[in-house]
A and B are shown apart, each in its own frame.
Chain A
Amino acid sequence: MTPILETRSLTKAFGGLVAVNDVSIQVEEGSTHAVIGPNGAGKTTLFNLLCGNFKPTSGRVFYRGQDITNVPLHQRAHLGIGRSFQIINLFPNLTVLENVRLAAQALGHDNFRIFRRASTIVSYVARAAEALEIVGLQGQASVPASVLPHGGKRKLELAILLAADPKLLLLDEPTAGMASEQVPELMQIIERVRSLGGRTIVIVEHNMNVVMNACDRITVMNLGQVLAEGTPAEIGANKQVQDVYLGELYDLPGAHA
């Protein structure tokens, strides 16, 4: 079976700095795949290459076997690829509902109807309400996005993704900046999305604990290259990974043995 997302020898250099070096990974359809690594490992650069923000120096990106390396940003959403942002990236002065409704509208065929009230096209509003329900923001639908607390913005970020019903979700550090006690709640939402089925999720994450229980496969990056790949159990047991990453961060017993 063709993987839903594949990179072949992906390389990105900023001048002399090679941030991502010859990375080839394959993401199976329906799986939840995490990319982890210490600071400066090239995770975010890899993410930007996957979602099309950066053009690679060399190498290609494939989606269901189709070369999407040069597909413009706005067309990727139409292919079924949704992405979240590490930095909060919303429409701050629009309401929570409108933020999500826009994402539902984007993939429909009503975008250039200029004599119809947007709020009367019920299907988009319903889809948006459904997405808000999944992330638990239904009570705040009519407030401006800017007044939500940080955790709420993170959830809204997810709801915007879900409203477009993407087949592939690219999540860039979904828990970035959240207080540690809020992280489990967000992971539960991701878990819920996963259990709804039919979606492939790629999570780029710094926080090891977040992904250990929530994914099927993990790719570990270090210094721009893939260090190891495997199931969470295999990665947890991998000596090399412990050395560069787990040991350094968490000082696991046995890491220095």
Chain B
Amino acid sequence: MKADKTLRIARWEVSKNAGQLDRRTLAAIGVVLVLVAALTPLVASKGIALDDGIYQVGVADDSPYRGPVANDSTFVAVEPDARAFRNGEIDVLILPGRPPVPAPTQKGQAAISELRATVQAYNDDLMGFERNRTAAFPVNVSLRYVAQNVSTTGAGTDDSEPPATTRPTDEDEVGLGGGESGGGDTGGETDDADLQATSRPTDNGDEIDSGESNSDGAGGESGGGDTVGATDRDAGGDDGGAVGDGPAGAPSVGSGSSLFTDQTRGGTPADIAPPFPFESLVLAFAFVLPMNFVIQAYASSILNERINDRGELLLVSPVSRGDIVAGKTLPYLVGMIAIATLTALGIAGLTPAGGDAPLEIVSTAAVSVAAVAPIALLFLACAFVGGMFARSFKELTFVTVTLSVLLTSYAFIPAIFTDVHPIAAISPLTLVVRALGGGAVPLADYAFSTLPLLLTAGTLFALGAGVYREEDMFTQRSVPLKFLDALDSQLSSPRSLAKLSALSIPFVFVAELLAVALLFALPVSVSIPALLVAIALVEEVAKSVGIYAGFAHERFGRSARSIGWLGFLSGLGFFVGEKATAVAQLVGLPNLELGRAAFGTVTGLGIQSSPLVLVGLFFAPLALHAVTATITAAGASRDRRWYFGTLAVATLVHAGYNLTVVSYLG
């Protein structure tokens, strides 16, 4: 790849697009942008009330409930008419001197729950007018977040841990781990000043070092890493799915601190707000929404090259494919990062959390941009592949909308749980939320969130560049066939199959994380088996699709020996790549019950046993992967139906293996 050629193509891409913009288009874009800018504050100030007027409450004008009902736009006040109530036209009926009665429907029940909350808030407002503050607000609250050290099933299993990996739990160390100033708060029960503290400085990210082991070994991911894994499954088993996360381990989720509000948590009970980071939602939109527009243009530009053989000229010129792809991508990537930088500076500058000193604002913004850039690259990589595979603009629209929805939810959904659940760490937006919250973002957390994205983006670009050639660009082939072409272009010999399998690891990782994100809300008894099957399927598809592509292009022989060799190579490549996910364990996701099921079993690390068994277990996944890949290879060598059949068989075998590891060795 040559820098000057890449830059020249990038310049062409920019000047070509700029040349298409006449004055009329520019004016239209200007008008639309001005309208967006004008409307956003207007709509924001009005508030988006989705539930206006959805419940009808029958209440008389002189009823004490009239005030709360009239104040809350969720309700519509109507005449209290018993007949209308029986007909279902009124959801809650309030007759003079009687308590409110809900209609015997789901809607009536929902309405009275809502009314209860409304009356509560109304009472607090009413008390605000009282002169006697003590009687009006008789309870003064301050909230303090303190780490619990053990899982909810209780302590008592310390003895089973080898002394080398368990250090006596040290309260102060947990709090002080990151060198944050709030360290005293976990050890200060005798300290009066601490007792009165109303808020606790967020100790973001200081618990990455998993050296402080949980005293009951919930996860036990300490020290050498050989105790990591499915060693403690009962932690969440009998209490309905809650995972007893100790303070150590998974990338930490800081205590709830809002960006846009005051940080003290003192006041009346009504002031207590659960740590729901609403700002994640705002951030996701501010950062991710412009990306959706950019990839539309980028994918259009890629597809344009393929229509009416327009890309032919570039292809025959003395530049490599890599130069063309990089040159065409560069302006869009730069544009996206520029937009993200402006957004980050805006957010960091406008919110108090970004800091006051210009230097502080810049550093916060830099962290945000660094966290968002991999998302931008992944958006572009997906759009590139979409542009290479789509046959028409219409198809491209569906592909880009699908990508937008999937990628936005991948970035956004986990970030909602920033302060609640370690799963949030898989989204780089979580890093942005933490950086804006004033916390440090350790390099390990950064790597954990962004590496899968970067690897995925790189592989996608490689796949797309593989079909950036005449016979694929200018022909109409269906998307699955193009996909097989792209895979086949990466294959040269059976040995390259191992490489392809290893390259599939980031996709497997992202797919598995998505599965974890989807399933973590369910009780552990349901989610673990479902997850094991989903993971088995993802991995089997990843290993076998290359083999299938090779057979579809008559690249490999179909003898039994060849099939066995292919299966072994694919399994080997996958096995080697998979060991790389041990990185995930070092970072600490396995502290999550689901993370342990997802990554602990397949890597085979984490079973405490004799060295011989350990070696056996270390290589057991290799045997498993080779066997299942051979099963699917046998199917792939015949036809599509056989392939899907053997895929199902291989998935079951794989899931069975995982289940065995989880339940017997765990």
The answer on A and B forming one complex is no
B residues bordering A, Cβ < 8 Å?
none
A residues bordering B, Cβ < 8 Å?
none
